[in-house]
Chain A
């Protein structure tokens, strides 16, 4: 509106692209408002379509926690690092739910938004990224329930709590990196969508959600650390409940997460430009 003729107009060049392209973070930043709107849309729709709204954010992990407490805590007598099993399990379920929902949300984000992708340009990563938004909100709601539980069981938070955002970021990076790679595959191959729920389910049992890290035999632990969710979930629980940090697991988790995230995003970028021709 206020542009004068003296302003040089931005020049955009469109040319064929080939090969691997790095993630264009500057462009993502440029579109941050759209990201906000997409998250806002998802949150808004969640509250419009459901009667219980935010309660689902609590109910989903809480119900799982109750079930696991009965199944693994009472019946199977699963160790829980000397804490009440329900608190122990819930502290693991919060990051796990965030990861699982974020991963499937991102994976299905492209195929669920084909009407946008075939009609408007924006960095396609945005749509995968935005699907983490509601999960983050759910995580905050679940955390407040967790704090209430800690008060109930008389567990005081420690200075470890300050490290919590690190593990949330780690989990988010994992969900985003793997999720966007899966999203690209999902757009190309219909099979992938059936594999995802299965993999997610198995992955939970391969991660210390319902059992402590100490439950894994010493000799196998190094292999276990290669699963970056081990560091993320164990670290999240330690930060929340003031348990000692497992540094090798955390370091391994970050290393693997960064590698996976880099590979996942690169693959997405590679597929991205052909996307509109496929879907």
Chain B
């Protein structure tokens, strides 16, 4: 009963998406159809991997007793948990769907079931077409084998035939940019080369269905971009892609639609921006990154003598950083040992090269401090176009022009490459500065006066 209801809901959600309406004019059989899939892990059972034969034999002897107890009261039910609980969704050919969720939400279990690595406990999955599944890059790579040998081995393990690998070999080596070292054992490769070669094989997988786990979190930025492009190329070929990740930015960049898993259940199934927003809102527990500054040695002898920085916190909606376009919010705790008037608190953000991006300073007229007391400064900065990236934090306390305490780069904050609406944003680039400002441009044609 429950199964079919949830499956219907999944379908309803699908048909409601504008993506579906605009791009699929004729009805197509879904490439992936997941109906009421559940997976139960027996907690006692997983332990058996480390258990001994003796325990198993004892278990076996006890089995009739346990079975009787189970029939009468079902006491054994507590020993299992459902990693997936009645999950249903479809993915159409040509669609790139993301699966997002926190650790333990069931993402990996879902992918393992779809890849046939483990069986579902209940439910049914239909996969229409050849499946290329990628739970990691470089599966089966052996350090003692050469690049060439590993391409063949890894290709075969991922499901390519000998002839297919031979045909694609040059393209793979080109893509990985390791042509010079292809006859060298991969144990001599740099980690970057190793990953490039491993991903190159994976990127050349054919198949109407592509299942990808979080494998893009590797390699340098330029190569990541290349892989993303290659994957998008794949989806334009009419393939269904299911991309599993907890990297919101990657999901937002790659997918048209996202499925949010929470505790093994489908929480949301919607166009990617909506799904990401609902995911973020759901995790809008107030999180803060804080830095204890009391014990840190100051650069100058008398710094911190009269008034000192105790603690600075970045107050964020999410634990890992601010979203692009979100107000910045800091809280500074200060401890005073002397009476001081006109105390100012300042927080500075530097880029990772140490160049100052911006300084926020409190109003000098407002604050006077008394010895022995603690004070809290709360600053909130409206969105000012600070681009995604990492910024180093500095803080200082002044009265007049005199510095009483000053700490440089005691911590860092991150602006995530994703905006408050769930859309992806590129990271700050050194040649364009760290702040995006809306600017208004007009272009018009002027007569005469060439050059």
Contacts from A to B (Cβ < 8 Å)? 1, 9-17, 33-34, 36-37, 40-41, 44-45, 48-49, 115-122, 187-192, 273-274, 276-279
Residues facing A in B152-181 (CB within 8 A) are 152-153, 156-158, 161-162
Q: Which B residues are CB-close (under 8 A) to A13?
A: 124-127
Given A11-B127, A41-B153, check contact A16 B136 (CB 8 Å): no
User: Are B136 and A190 within 8 A (Cβ)?
Assistant: no
Q: Given A1-B206, A121-B117: A48 and B52 within 8 A (CB)? A: no
Q: Are B139 and A120 in contact (CB under 8 A)?
A: yes
Q: Is B60 among interface residues, defined by CB-CB distance under 8 A? A: no
Instruction: Return B182 CB to nearest CB of chain A, in Å.
Output: 16
- Tell me whether B139 and A191 are in contact (CB under 8 A): no
**In contact, A45 and B45 (Cβ under 8 angstroms):** no
User: A260 CA to B404 CA in the complex, in Å?
Assistant: 84
Q: Are B121 and A16 in contact (CB under 8 A)?
A: yes
Contacts known (A120-B139, A192-B53); A16 close to B120, Cβ less than 8 A: yes
In the docked arrangement, what's the CA distance between A115 and B158, Å? 13
Q: Say which residue of A12, A34, A192, A276 sits within 8 Å of B112 (CB atoms).
A: A276
Choose from A119, A189, A277, A278 the contact partner of B139 (Cβ within 8 Å). Answer: A119
A276 to B41, CA, bound (A): 12
**Contact assessment for A277 and B124 in the assembled complex, using a CB-CB cutoff below 8 Å:** no
Q: CB-CB < 8 A to B123: which residues of A?
A: 15-16
Residue of B nearest to A113 (CB): B140
Stretch at the interface among B141-149, B296-304, B363-371: B141-149
- Closest chain-A Cβ to B146's Cβ sits at a distance in Å of 9
- Having A37-B153, A49-B144, A120-B158, one finds 12 other A-B pairs with CB under 8 Å, namely A9-B129, A11-B127, A13-B126, A14-B113, A14-B124, A15-B120, A16-B119, A116-B139, A188-B56, A189-B56, A273-B119, A274-B119
Q: Please indicate the chain B residues that have their CB under 8 angstroms from the CB of A191 in the complex.
A: 52-54
Q: Is B128 on the interface with A (CB-CB < 8 A)?
A: yes
B49 is an interface residue with CB less than 8 A from chain A: yes
Residue of B nearest to A9 (CB): B129
Chain A's nearest CB lies how many Å from the CB of B415? 34
Could you pull out 10 A-B pairs where Cβ atoms are within 8 angstroms? Answer: A10-B129, A11-B128, A14-B116, A41-B142, A41-B145, A41-B149, A44-B149, A116-B157, A192-B53, A276-B112
Bound-state Cα–Cα, A10 to B157, Å: 20
B320 to chain A, nearest CB (A): 27
Q: Is B72's CB within 8 Å of the partner chain A?
A: no
Q: Which positions 96-120 of chain B face chain A at CB distance < 8 Å? A: 112-120
Partner of A277, one of B41, B140, B142: B41
Known: A115-B139, A120-B140, A121-B115. A14 touches B127 (CB 8 A): yes
B313: Cβ under 8 A from any A Cβ: no
Nearest Cβ in chain A — how far from B125, in angstroms? 4
Q: Are B128 and A9 in contact, with the CB atoms below 8 A?
A: yes
- Is B208 an interface position by the 8 A CB rule? yes
* B residues adjacent to A (C-beta < 8 A): 41, 45-46, 48-54, 56, 112-131, 133, 135-136, 139-140, 142, 144-145, 149, 152-153, 156-158, 161-162, 185, 206, 208
Cβ–Cβ < 8 Å partners of B113 in chain A: 14
- Tell me how far the C-beta of A122 lies from the nearest C-beta in chain B, rounded to whole angstroms: 7
Minimal Cβ-Cβ distance residue in A for B161: A33
Within the complex, the shortest CB–CB distance from A51 to chain B, in Å, comes to 14
The residue of chain B having its C-beta at the shortest distance from the C-beta of A117 within the complex is B117
Q: Determine whether the beta carbon of B48 is less than 8 Å from that of A48.
A: no
A273 to B113 CA separation, bound complex (whole angstroms):
11
Bound together, the chains give a CA A16 to CA B124 distance in angstroms of 8
B136 A119 Cβ-Cβ under 8 A: yes
Take A14-B114, A119-B139, A189-B53 as given contacts and tell me if A34 and B129 are in contact as well, using a CB distance cutoff of 8 Å: no
Query: Are A17 and B145 touching (Cβ within 8 A)?
Result: no
Q: Check if B120 sits within 8 Å of A14, measured CB to CB.
A: yes
Which residue of chain A has its CB nearest to the CB of B115?
A121
Nearest B residue (CB) for A122: B157
Bound complex: CA A48 to CA B135 (Å): 29
B12 to chain A, nearest CB (A): 24
- The complex places the Cα of A52 from the Cα of B208 at a distance, in Å, of 46
Closest-by-CB residue of B relative to A121 is: B116
Contact A10 B124 (CB under 8 A): no
Also in contact, A37 and B152, with CB within 8 A (given A16-B120, A116-B157): yes
Contact of A279 with B206 in the complex, beta carbons under 8 Å: no
Min CB distance, B177 to chain A, in Å?
Answer: 24
Q: Which of A1, A14, A189, A192 has the most CB of B within 10 A?
A: A14
Q: What residues of chain A lie closer than 8 Å to B53, measured between beta carbons?
A: 189, 191-192
Q: Which of B48, B121, B156, B185 contacts A33 (CB 8 A)?
A: B156
The residue that B49 contacts in the complex, of A15, A121, A278, with Cβ under 8 A, is: A278
Q: Is the CB of A189 within 8 A of B52?
A: yes
Q: Which residues of A contact B131 (CB under 8 A)?
A: 12
Give 4 closest A-B pairs by Cβ, nearest first.
A37-B156, A121-B116, A14-B125, A9-B129
Return chain B residues, CB-CB under 8 Å to A10: 128-130
**In the complex, which residues of chain A have a beta carbon less than 8 angstroms from the beta carbon of B126?**
11-14
Chain A residue at smallest Cβ distance from B113? A14
- Contact B56–A44 (Cβ < 8 Å): no
Residues of A within 8 A of B133 (CB): 120-121
Q: A45-B145, A49-B144, A277-B46 are in contact. Are A118 and B117 (CB under 8 A)?
A: yes
Q: A44-B149, A278-B49 are in contact. Are A119 and B135 (CB under 8 A)?
A: yes
Taken together as a complex, chains A and B put the C-alpha atoms of A220 and B118 apart, in Å, by: 47
Are B157 and A190 interface neighbours, CB within 8 A? no
Q: Name the contact of A116 in the complex, choosing from B49, B122, B140 (C-beta under 8 A).
A: B140
Q: Is the CB of B144 within 8 A of A276?
A: no
CB closest chain-A residue, reference B139: A119
Q: Which of A16, A48, A279 is B122 in contact with, Cβ under 8 Å?
A: A16
B54, B149, B206, most chain A CB atoms within 10 A? B149
Given contacts A9-B128, A120-B135, A120-B157, contact A278 B46 (CB under 8 A): yes
CB distance from B94 to the nearest CB of A (A): 12
**Minimum distance in angstroms from B157 CB to a CB of chain A:** 6
> A34 and B206: CB pair below 8 A?
no
> Considering the chains assembled together, what is the distance between the CA atoms of A279 and B118 in angstroms?
11
Q: Roughly how many angstroms separate A276 CA and B109 CA in the complex, as a whole number?
A: 11
Residues of A within 8 A of B136 (CB): 119
In the bound assembly, the distance between CA atoms of A75 and B156 in angstroms comes to 52
Across-interface contacts of B116 in A (CB, < 8 A): 14, 121
Shortest Cβ gap from A183 to chain B (Å): 14
Q: Which residues of chain B are within 8 angstroms of A278 by Cβ–Cβ distance?
A: 46, 48-49
